[in-house]
Amino acid sequence: MINPDAAGRPKPLSAVNLQHLLEDANPPRIVDVREDQELAVAAFPGDVLHLPLSAADRWMDDLLDQFNGDQDVVVVCHAGVRSWQFGCWLLAQRPDLTVWNLEGGIDAWSQQVDPGVPRY
């Protein structure tokens, strides 16, 4: 089994801990890798960089310029699988970043933090 805390792997982050991080003076950059239709059903609240994985050809060339090493990155999807994969890829490209994966994705956010976000 792969150790999620190993180098090159995103760190796991609970929805409740993400809520606390978002209240900090220097909140993390949220990257949502879900598809457009998923965001239409249950958008993550706040300022989010939307990078649907199926449209990677549209955003891939400029992606790495959108991150700096001073701001943590939290990757979000529906359940935490696609975001973990994207987080692994991002760390392979930019090992200087601190990348977190929202465990349980937007579904966990809805259950643990904001029941106003619809579940699907």
Q: What is the pLDDT of residue 36?
A: 96
Q: What is the pLDDT of residue 6?
A: 60
- pTM higher than 0.85: yes
Q: What is the pLDDT of residue 4?
A: 46
Q: What is the pLDDT of residue 24?
A: 92
Q: What is the pLDDT of residue 2?
A: 42
Q: What is the pLDDT of residue 55?
A: 95
Q: Which amino acid does the sequence have at 120? A: Y
Give me the architecture of the 11-59+68-112 domain, per CATH.
Answer: 3-Layer(aba) Sandwich (3.40)
pLDDT < 70: residue spans in the chain: 1-6
Domain ranges of the chain: 11-59+68-112
Q: What is the pLDDT of residue 69?
A: 81
| DSSP for 31-65, written as a single string | EE-S-HHHHHHSPPSSSEEE--GGGHHHHHHHHGG
Distances 32 to 2, 45, 49 between C-alpha atoms, Å: 23, 11, 6
Instruction: Bin 31: left if φ > 0, else alpha if -120 < ψ < 50, else beta.
Output: beta
Q: What is the pLDDT of residue 64?
A: 86
State how far the Cα of 87 lies from the Cα of 90, in Å rounded to an integer.
5
Q: What is the pLDDT of residue 3?
A: 43
